[in-house]
Amino acid sequence: MTSTRKSIHGQWSNRIVFILAATGSAVGLGNIWKFPYIAGENGGGTFVLVYLVCIALIGIPIMMAETMIGRRGRQSPINTMSTLAREEGRSPGWVMLGWMGVVAGFLILSYYSVIAGWALSYVFRTGSGAFLGVTTDGVNHIFTELVTDPERLLAWHTIFMVMTMIVVARGVKHGLEKAVRFLMPALLALLLMTVAYSMTTGHFMEGVEFLFTPGTISGQGVLIAMGHAFFTLSLGMGAIMVYGSYLPRHTSITQASIIIAIADTGVALLAGMAIFPIVFANGLEPGVGPGLIFKTLPIAFGHMEAGTMIGTAFFILLSFAAWTSAISLIEPAVAWLVENRGMNRIYASVWIGIFTWVLGIGSVLSFNLWSEHTWSVPFLFENKNFFDTLDFITANLMLPLGGLFIAIFAAWLMSENSTRDELNTNKFIFRIWHFLVKYITPIAVIIVFLNVIGVISL
């Protein structure tokens, strides 16, 4: 069936481009600060080992399943699920899985764009020398000035959304593919340059030890590793499914998924080796979460030799990571409009971009004018503003449920002939994948889901 079905949007030129695109989707702001921090705080090398096991048991099987479903359908996630449910003789209600992924990507981009705008603004702040010799109070003042100014935040949010819309509007070959061919190698080059600088600080081994020295990992640390193994690969939000729909027939989904998982983890570890030596060299605190990027590192950049150049390169790196993720978040919705409303890609990108931008205004205002307006949902969360509410709904509810239902559909509802034909791998690897995605992965995702909503905690 899939050998004769073609995507109306075109396809990737080769496997390398797909790997670059999917890795770009997976590598985002969280890779740069979150993984190194949680690894260092939850057992170092032990956490990394547990995380790699979780990637093998959760991340790669679901990535293979989502890519396989996407290539089988060759359409937007919504139309793919509708088509495959019909072909497999399943309930048409499975189209809701496609809708959930598309809506999740749309919602995530609306607030992700705001945070990416921070990174863009810091490129120019750092490049202008604003952090030279700055104190802790000075950095806090600069950050507070940014987030409490709705007009400035709105301007950066707008710039980032326009950047994203331009890439997506140009299509698969001339937009997405050209962007990732440039952005991913550039991202890696900037990251390696920062690592090279970190080696000159005299604290490089201290950063390596923070990341890799084996330590004791708690039950909660294991749950954190499981959760990050799922969330880091951009699963459950339609991005990998729609990218899979552009994948050439002859490309091995198994090999590509493994390479993407390794690349995503490699970028996160390199980020840790780039960041923490700089932090330790300046006597700063490594365990401050997102504040590490916008409050702690600028102090270091402001007091180091060539700090303006290194800092500017770092925030360009951060912006590139956000950009490659953003184009994958908007693509599923754009693909659906092109398929179902007869729009060309330019109009579809503009419409989705405008809707996303408008919703993002709520997140912009969450840091200033609406900061006191909060919502609570019994048994789920209390006193969250607009930004935090969207973050909770997407990350803690929609994405785990999306990943769970992808595993169920691929392993329990699609025929073995269909999955075997699409994966096109040897019998041994297929059996391992089928067992994992049928039994182990769903249980693991359910545990992640129950942990993130606070039902279980070890």
Is it the case that residue 288 has pLDDT exceeding 70?
A: no
- Determine the average pLDDT of the residues in 446-451: 89
What pLDDT does 365 receive? 97
Express each pLDDT in 134-184 by its tens digit.
Answer: 888 999 999 999 999 999 999 999 999 999 999 999 999 899 999 999 999
Express each pLDDT in 178-189 by its tens digit.
Answer: 999 999 999 999
Instruction: Specify the CATH number of the domain 15-452.
Output: 1.20.1740
Interatomic CA distance for residues 264 and 46, integer angstroms: 19
Mean pLDDT computed over every residue of the chain: 92
Contact 151, 364 (CB under 8 A): no
Interatomic CA distance for residues 100 and 21, integer angstroms: 22
Interatomic CA distance for residues 223 and 441, integer angstroms: 14
Q: State the pLDDT confidence band at 231, using cuts at 50, 70 and 90.
A: confident
SS3 214: strand
Q: State the pLDDT confidence band at 287, using cuts at 50, 70 and 90.
A: low
Is it the case that residue 295 has pLDDT exceeding 90?
A: no
Supply the pTM of this predicted model.
0.94
**Residue 343 forms beta bridges with which residues?**
none
- Determine the average pLDDT of the residues in 112-132: 95
What pLDDT does 458 receive? 64
Bridge pairing between strands 381-384 and 375-377:
antiparallel
Is it the case that residue 362 has pLDDT exceeding 70?
A: yes
Q: Give percent of the chain with pLDDT exceeding 90.
A: 73
Q: What does the angle CA 193 – CA 315 – CA 286 come to, to the nearest 5 degrees?
A: 85
Q: State the number of CA atoms in the 13 A half-sphere of 211 facing the CB.
A: 23
What pLDDT does 327 receive? 96
B/e letters for 148-185, b = 16+ CB within 10 Å, e = fewer, are: eebebbbebbbebbebbbebbbbbbeebbbebbeebbe
Q: H or E element: which one contains 257?
A: helix 253-281
What pLDDT does 100 receive? 97
What pLDDT does 435 receive? 97
Is it the case that residue 289 has pLDDT exceeding 70?
A: no
Interatomic CA distance for residues 49 and 55, integer angstroms: 10
Domain ranges of the chain: 15-452
| Separation of first and last alpha carbons in the chain | 46
Interatomic CA distance for residues 34 and 56, integer angstroms: 20
With both helix axes pointing from N to C terminus, report the angle between 29-41 and 253-281 in degrees, rounded to the nearest 10: 70
List the structure tokens of 69: 């479903």
What pLDDT does 38 receive? 86
Least Cα distance to 21 among 232, 326, 314 occurs for: 326
Interatomic CA distance for residues 292 and 295, integer angstroms: 6
Interatomic CA distance for residues 420 and 418, integer angstroms: 6
Is it the case that residue 426 has pLDDT exceeding 90?
A: yes
